[in-house]
Structures are given as C-alpha cells and as structure tokens.
C-alpha cells in the first residue's frame, strides 16, 4: 500500500504516545539485559519529535521522516538513537520518489543493519523490523505478527549491543529495542488496520 502523509503523521504521533506511556516498561526490559535507560532515551526522543512536528508541520512524507530522524538522532542517544535515526533518515530519502509502505520499512531495516552491523537473530530491533518488512511485503500485518516477532527475541542469545556482554545470560528476556519497535509497528497496525 501507498503511505500518505496523513497516515504516516497519525502513525508517528501514535508511536510517540506509546513511547511516553511505556517508558517504565522499556526501562525495565533494559534493566534486565542492559543499562536500564532505553525507556528514558526513547521518551526524550518522543518529546523531541512531538515538539519538532508542532513547530513546523511537514509538507510531505519525506519531511515527516526527516524531522523524526533528526529529533531522534539529537535526543535519544545511546545505541538506539543513531539506529532509529538512520532508519527514518533512509526512509525520508527513499520517500522522495517511492511511498510504498513495505519498501520503506525494508529500507529502514536495511539502514539499521548497515549502521549497527547487525542482522536478524542477534536479539536486536532488527528481529522486529525485518519480519515486519517481510509481512508487509506479503500483504498483511497484524498485532499478532508484531507480537510474535517481539517474542522471538526472548529465546535468543544477544550478539550485538550491550546485552551481548551477558552472552547466554541474555536468554529469557525480551530485547528492549524490539519492544520499542513493536510499539512502532503496533501503532502502524492501529492506523492502517490489521
Ligand atoms: P544503549 O544500549 O546504548 O543503552 P538503548 O538502551 O537506548 O541504548 O538501546 C538498546 C537497544 O538498541 C537494544 O535493545 C537493541 O534493540 C538495539 N541495538 C543495540 N545495538 C544494536 C545494533 N548493533 N544493531 C541493531 N540494534 C541494536
Ligand atoms: Mg540502554
């Protein structure tokens, strides 16, 4: 499906709202296998995105993603800030001449992989981004699909990011960045319908 500015604006606003409402949950997940700041990081980014969008309404899809990317790069920090930032920045560039939703999410996923030197099965946000891109390409995305991608991170051994220091001890916990990415794509499902 074609992503419009209207749909994408609702999508990003809902993501911001979920990040603000789930800061404690994200911090809790990151406390188990990281340094406990993922919720605080993303909440800072969410507030920056909201402020930037209120200051200047984006003229098109590309501008919306660019504003989102810059706010996240500037305010989220940690490992996740540059990764989300790269995803949205690459999506912004691509949106100049292609607004296919599945394609854009794939480009975001590829950006994270490139920036993070990561791939699927490393217990990172890629374990949500890539399956979601695949599902969108097959023509359907539901909350269950997002949820099952998120849950798949539980049994994985982390081999990238801070959680990789724990090696086998990272097993049994959800990846925090996959949870924030699940909020992103649950927001999408809510806006476009399951
Ligand atoms: P930090 O680890 O610097 O404290 P955050 O806590 O904000 O940063 O974010 C951690 C999340 O970032 C992880 O749960 C994981 O999903 C994601 N992440 C970390 N490193 C990578 C990477 N190399 N590739 C993809 N995602 C990563
Ligand atoms: Mg952290």
Question: Over pLDDT 70: what percentage of the chain?
Answer: 99
Q: How far is the CA of 19 from the centre of ligand 2 (A)?
A: 15
Please state the φ and ψ torsions of residue 96, each to the nearest 5 degrees: -65, -35
DSSP secondary structure letter of residue 2 = B
Nearest atom within ligand 1 for CA of residue 81:
7
Q: How far is the CA of 134 from the centre of ligand 2 (A)?
A: 27
pLDDT of residue 194: 64
> Is ligand 1 within 6 A of the CB of residue 26?
no
> Is ligand 1 within 6 A of the CB of residue 82?
no
Question: Over pLDDT 90: what percentage of the chain?
Answer: 99
- pLDDT of residue 138 exceeding 70, the answer is yes
- pLDDT of residue 168 exceeding 80, the answer is yes
* Segment 44-83, tens digit of pLDDT: 999 999 999 999 999 999 999 999 999 999 999 999 999 9
Ligand in closest contact with the CA of 177: 1
DSSP secondary structure letter of residue 186 = H
Please state, in angstroms and rounded to a whole number, the distance separating the CA atoms of residues 55 and 126: 31
DSSP letters of the chain? -BPPHHHHHHHHHHHHHHHHHTHHHHHHHHHHHS-S-HHHHHHHHHHHHHHHHHHS--SSHHHHHHHHHHHHHHHT-TTHHHHHHHHHHHHHHHTTT--BHHHHHHHHHHHHHHHHT--TTSSSTHHHHHHHHHHHHTT---HHHHHHHHHHTTTPPP-SSGGGGGGGGGTTS--HHHHHHHHHHHHHHHHH--
Q: How confident is the model over 107-123, as a mean pLDDT? A: 98
> Is ligand 1 within 6 A of the CB of residue 34?
yes
> Is ligand 1 within 6 A of the CB of residue 160?
yes
Q: Which of 124, 127, 154, 178 to mutate to test the pocket of ligand 1 (most atoms within 8 A of CB)?
A: 124
Residue 174 pLDDT grade (very low, low, confident, very high; cuts 50, 70, 90): very high
Contact indicator for 12, 49 with CB cutoff of 8 Å: yes
Q: Whose CA is nearest to atom 20 of ligand 1?
A: 161
- pLDDT of residue 115 exceeding 70, the answer is yes
Q: Which of 23, 75, 79, 158 to mutate to test the pocket of ligand 1 (most atoms within 8 A of CB)?
A: 79
Q: Which of 80, 175, 178 to mutate to test the pocket of ligand 1 (most atoms within 8 A of CB)?
A: 80
Q: How far is the CA of 163 from the centre of ligand 2 (A)?
A: 9
């Amino acid at each position: 499906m074609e992503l419009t500015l209207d749909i994408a604006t609702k999508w990003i606003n809902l993501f911001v709202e979920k990040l603000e409402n789930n800061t404690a949950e994200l911090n809790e997940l990151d406390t188990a296998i990281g340094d406990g700041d993922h919720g605080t990081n993303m909440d800072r980014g969410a507030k920056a995105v909201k402020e930037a969008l209120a200051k200047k309404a984006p003229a098109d899809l590309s501008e919306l993603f660019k504003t989102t990317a810059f706010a996240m790069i500037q305010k989220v920090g940690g490992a996740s800030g540059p990764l989300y930032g790269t995803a949205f920045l690459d999506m912004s560039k691509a949106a100049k001449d292609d607004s296919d939703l599945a394609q854009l999410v794939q480009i975001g996923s590829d950006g994270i992989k490139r920036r993070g030197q990561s791939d699927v099965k490393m217990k990172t946000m890629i374990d949500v981004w890539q399956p979601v891109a695949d599902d969108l390409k097959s023509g359907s995305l539901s909350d269950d699909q997002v949820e099952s991608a998120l849950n798949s991170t539980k049994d994985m051994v982390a081999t990238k990011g801070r959680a990789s220091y724990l090696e086998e001890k990272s097993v049994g916990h959800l990846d925090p960045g996959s949870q924030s990415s699940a909020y992103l794509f649950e927001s999408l499902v809510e806006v476009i319908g399951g």
